[in-house]
Structure 1
Amino acid sequence: MSTTPAADSAELRLVVLGRTGEGKSSAVSSILGLAHPPQDADVMQECSKHRGEAAGRRVSVVSSPAWFGSGCDPEERRRLISSFVSLSSPGPHVFLLCVPVNQPADGEANALDALTELFGPSAVGTNAIVLFTHTEELEEDEQLGGYLATWRKDLLELAGRCGGRYHTLETRGGGEAEEGKAVEELMEKVEQVERHCSCPLYREAEERVRQRQVEIVRRRRGGDQVGPTDPQPEGDVTEEEMEAARDEAERSVGDLDVDVESVFPASAPPRAPSFLWGLWEKLTGWLPRVLRREALLGALVGLFVGGPFGGMMGATVGSVATEVGRRRTQKVK
């Protein structure tokens, strides 16, 4: 993979990724200082691009629905990948992976695997930052770093794959000054990356975007301003015209040559839920939040192991899980 210094670009490009409900829209809103979150890319099932300023820097932020989950149709996956790649061409300076601190991170680990397969190891090791969300789950006096080190070493390992880079835009006070500081710190981390992601897929996208850009300018100018093979329109074509043509070109490139079959091999369909799993889901809906899964976990361990030893093991598992759940959910009053 080749890279290009960020200093050579007047605009920093960010791609925001994450599963549904993991805070992508809020992240875009915070970065660009929008009064209202943009339309949710997951709801629209379309990639979106927003331009603006963040801490004094010109930025473009691309948000994409989740395309790395096992339930995504191959053709839909190819369409979404092609779309966010074209919108962030010639390559993003960072991939921001939204990761909630209160959920398992298997899906996000799969996302990093997919980025590596699609764009090369540097896409994760050099150009990815974990953006932690749902930090309201932490206790009021608990810092994110301490929480991760004590309770969620799996999330620290996830950030470790990204060169140890992680951040959060969520602030306890919620004031403008704190939010502005969080965005400023994020942009400093983006600039420390220094080089934007580049690979054959992004080079293909950039070539197609430039060709479409020329075609769009020719069409709008009646076909007499540029030649069919001119790499860059010249003459009296304004910067605004070129930028508008670029925006249209990015949205109309079409599917790229994404080998989704090799990156996402077909897997066997999920098995139907068992009776015990269905019972588990029903019972967990009845019990209080702090106790429901932890107590049931201990009970089921005791049930399956059986005997006095099983009872003791179940009690131990239940009490440990309850304490972990308490720390994750209780607030200091």
Structure 2
Amino acid sequence: MAAGSSSKTTGDSPHLSEIRVVLLGNEVDKSKVVKSILGCRDLTGENVGQCMLYEGDQAGRKISVVEAPGWNSMQQTPESIKKSIRRSVSLNPPGPHALLLVIPVKRNEVPSTGDIKAEMHMELLSERIWKHTIVLFACDEGVGEFAVKAYIPKAKKILEKCKGRTYVLERDSKISELLQKIEDLVEENCGDVFIPQTYYELFEWKRVDLRRRRRSLEWNPPDMTKGKPDFVNEPQALLMHYFKPISVIALAVFGALLGAVTGAEYGVSGAGAGLLLGSILAVFLAFLIFEVTENRTN
């Protein structure tokens, strides 16, 4: 269910306890639409910049309606109006359940394409707007649903964007039907409300950051037993590197001493010859042993 709303049940029909909507459209009097939604004749609203905020109760629900300022063509709409349109969706936090694009249906009048061309103004609020938009045809006194058919071809592109969601508001219309359409829209959007762009960007950033954190937690660290840096086994590496020369020198010294002791029986010259011969034999023996050991290893 949408944030900031709870669900109540009347009989077998569950509904939102609160409905928040924003009225958008060109420079027309939207007060008739507000009165119909709130079910009152006299309006008392709060002026918030160039927007109007109205609150009331209807059919057991708390209703909040924000009326955004109207627009001309995009080129003729002042920046202050565009800013107020963007701000309108943040005036009933955490966000509206629906945005009603109000199109007036006049007696004996067929609109030009430009009268209904509202895409650029609507998309001041981002393209996400269409997921939450209902086109509301507000009929003048004595103008019925039949007259609306002349407006449908002119609003074709807009209706395609919002998946054909429409409501025809006449004098005797049951506003409960509009509220039900809004609830159906909320259900279609899985309970999501329209989040203002600034909050949406922050939400998206947090969601991306959360995905990154999740990926970092799921990251498998490398097996440190494989391909260890040299400094991890530095003592062992040094020992293996110098083992062969140290062993050769040790054996040479040992052989020299053994040869000198053996040759000492024949005097100084015998000791010298024994030392030289013993060292040579020891070195030869050492290389022979290493060669045999390496061949077996391979």
CA gap of 1:64–1:193, structure 2 versus 1, over 3 A, is: same
Q: Distance in 2 between matches of 1:186 and 1:202?
A: 28
Aligned twin of 1:133: 138
Offset of 1:79 from its aligned partner? 3.7
Matched pairs, number = 184
Q: Distance in 2 between matches of 1:123 and 1:73?
A: 21
Alignment partner of 2:87: what SS? helix
Aligned twin of 1:99: 103
Q: Is the 8 A contact 1:91 1:202 kept in 2?
A: no
Alignment partner of 2:102: what SS? strand
Q: Distance in 2 between matches of 1:197 and 1:30?
A: 23
Aligned twin of 2:57: 53
Please tell me the root mean square deviation across aligned C-alpha atoms, in Å: 3.4
CA displacement 1:57-107 (0-9 Å, x = unmatched): 211000011246332222x13541353133133221111111023433524
Aligned twin of 1:13: 20
In structure 1, list runs of 5 or more residues that go unmatched.
172-177, 207-333
CA displacement 1:155-197 (0-9 Å, x = unmatched): 35533322211112222xxxxxx44xx2100000000111311
Aligned twin of 2:162: 162
Q: Is the 8 A contact 2:98 2:134 kept in 1?
A: yes
Aligned twin of 1:26: 32
Q: Which amino acid aligns with 1:100?
A: P
Residues 53-72 of structure 1: matches in 2 within 5 Å?
Answer: 53-67=57-71, 69=73, 70-72=75-77
Q: Does 1:116 align with 2:120?
A: no
Aligned twin of 1:185: 177
Q: Distance in 2 between matches of 1:68 and 1:151?
A: 18
Alignment partner of 2:117: what SS? helix
Alignment partner of 1:86: what SS? coil
Q: Distance in 1 between matches of 2:151 and 2:117?
A: 18
Aligned twin of 2:10: none
CA gap of 1:15–1:151, structure 2 versus 1, over 3 A, is: closer
Alignment partner of 1:31: what SS? helix
**More strand per residue: 1 or 2?**
2
Residues 136-285 of structure 1: matches in 2 within 5 Å?
Answer: 136=141, 138=143, 144=145, 146-149=146-149, 152-171=152-171, 178-179=172-173, 182-194=174-186, 195-203=192-200
Q: Distance in 2 between matches of 1:198 and 1:189?
A: 19
Q: Distance in 2 between matches of 1:193 and 1:24?
A: 22
Q: Is the 8 A contact 2:46 2:54 kept in 1?
A: no
Q: TM-score, length-normalised on structure 1?
A: 0.47
Offset of 1:31 from its aligned partner? 0.6
Q: Does 1:77 align with 2:74?
A: no
Larger relative contact order, structure 1 or 2 (CA cutoff 8 Å, min sep 6) = 1
Q: Which amino acid aligns with 1:119?
A: S
Q: Distance in 2 between matches of 1:89 and 1:105?
A: 34
Farther off after superposition, 188-197 or 146-155 = 146-155
Q: Distance in 2 between matches of 1:191 and 1:45?
A: 29
Aligned twin of 1:293: none
CA gap of 1:20–1:204, structure 2 versus 1, over 3 A, is: same
* Percent of residue pairs identical: 28
In structure 2, list runs of 5 or more residues that go unmatched.
8-15, 187-191, 204-298
CA displacement 1:230-267 (0-9 Å, x = unmatched): xxxxxxxxxxxxxxxxxxxxxxxxxxxxxxxxxxxxxx
Q: Is the 8 A contact 1:64 1:80 kept in 2?
A: yes
Offset of 1:40 from its aligned partner? 11
Offset of 1:5 from its aligned partner? 9.6
CA gap of 1:72–1:147, structure 2 versus 1, over 3 A, is: closer
Q: Which amino acid aligns with 2:67?
A: S
Aligned twin of 1:309: none
Aligned twin of 1:90: 94
Q: Which has the larger radius of gyration?
A: 2
Q: Which amino acid aligns with 2:69?
A: P
Alignment partner of 2:137: what SS? strand
Q: Is the 8 A contact 1:15 1:94 kept in 2?
A: yes
Offset of 1:147 from its aligned partner? 4.0
Q: Is the 8 A contact 1:128 1:162 kept in 2?
A: yes
Q: Distance in 2 between matches of 1:20 and 1:150?
A: 20
Q: Is the 8 A contact 1:29 1:38 kept in 2?
A: no
